[in-house]
Structure 1
Amino acid sequence: MITKGVDGYELSTDPDRLDVGLVHHWLSTDAYWALGRGREVVERAVRGSRNVSVHESGEGAGAQVAYARVVTDRATFAWLCDVYVARAHRGRGLGTWLTRAVRDLLAPWGLTRVLLATRDAHEVYARAGFVPHPDPEQLMILEAAS
């Protein structure tokens, strides 16, 4: 699926358009939640997820400028993660557009819960309808063994 949207950009769910090397670079060098993440881990994560990318549109364009992935059972639950917009393309509404597009892609499945975690982009996700978890004390995490 390719969708035209924000001026000069298009959204894609086509796995052949996804630049995994670029996604690895972004996540491992510039995303606070994934600093140092290995290429093989990113490749496995991509293979096991629903991926959405944003690209420049127009003649001779097509460079990937944003990414998000969703881990889901496609029945009751999804986790939106690794949402990243290239620094040179921030401030143009791409994060909000990408998040809304993911929300809309998930809607037909009738999921009862879609979660995400963020340290600094609450407004972006709020514009797509996300709200703080009403009972965060109910959430738990199994941290990786060190």
Structure 2
Amino acid sequence: MQLVHQLTPLQFKDVFSFLSERSYWSKGIDEIRLRKALDHSMCFALVDGKQLLAFCRVVTDQATFANLLDVFVLEPYRGQGLGKKLIDAVMTHPELQGLRRFTLATKDAHSLYQQFGFNGLANPEIAMEKYVTDIYCNPLN
């Protein structure tokens, strides 16, 4: 097993399939939008040979802020500690050190992220978001 930062076309297909069809957070995302998102992110993938096992990406300025996104382990490879290995690779990456704020959103994996120092918002009263629930109904061209 190895960590890679560039996906092969087949690995991209696996990422797209999972995110667009099986994830709760980006179901329906179109391929053009996903390619653009990955092109503007630091990608982390665990692979065995050419087989994708797990994936995530980070959007960052590499100086003050980062946001962890699209974290998943493909179904046949769950329960083997791959999520923990993937997040460890992110959190120890040289370009992601010394950041003031590192954020993420999760519905069900709080205990995983808490192992890496993530907690609830320090000042939730200052946090805001603009969230468009049906954005994936309008594919990018």
Pairwise TM-score range, normalised by the shorter structure: 0.7 to 0.9
- For structure 2, the residue ranges without an aligned partner over 5 or more in a row are 135-141
SS in 2 for 1:20: helix
SS in 1 for 2:130: coil
What is the Cα-based RMSD across aligned positions, in Å?
1.8
Do the aligned partners of 2:56 and 2:68 also contact (CA within 8 Å) in 1?
yes
In the alignment, what sits opposite 2:44? 52
Answer yes or no: is 1:86 the counterpart of 2:78. Answer: no
Tell me how far apart the structure 2 counterparts of residues 108 and 73 of structure 1 sit (CA, whole Å).
9
TM-score by length of 1: 0.83
Larger deviation, residues 108-117 vs 16-25? 16-25
Do the aligned partners of 1:80 and 1:115 also contact (CA within 8 Å) in 2?
yes
Higher relative contact order (CA 8 A, sep 6+): 2
SS in 1 for 2:112: helix
Q: Which residue type is aligned with residue 100 of structure 1?
A: D
Identity of aligned residues (%): 35
- For structure 1, the residue ranges without an aligned partner over 5 or more in a row are 1-8
Question: 1:13-32 to 2 correspondence within 5 Å?
Answer: 13=5, 15-17=6-8, 19-32=11-24
Do the aligned partners of 1:21 and 1:39 also contact (CA within 8 Å) in 2?
no
Q: Which of 89, 92, 95 is matched with 1:101 structurally?
A: 89
TM-score by length of 2: 0.86
Q: Which of 33, 42, 60 is matched with 1:72 structurally?
A: 60
Size of the aligned set, in residue pairs, is 133
The runs of 4+ residues in structure 1 deviating greater than 3 Å are 106-109
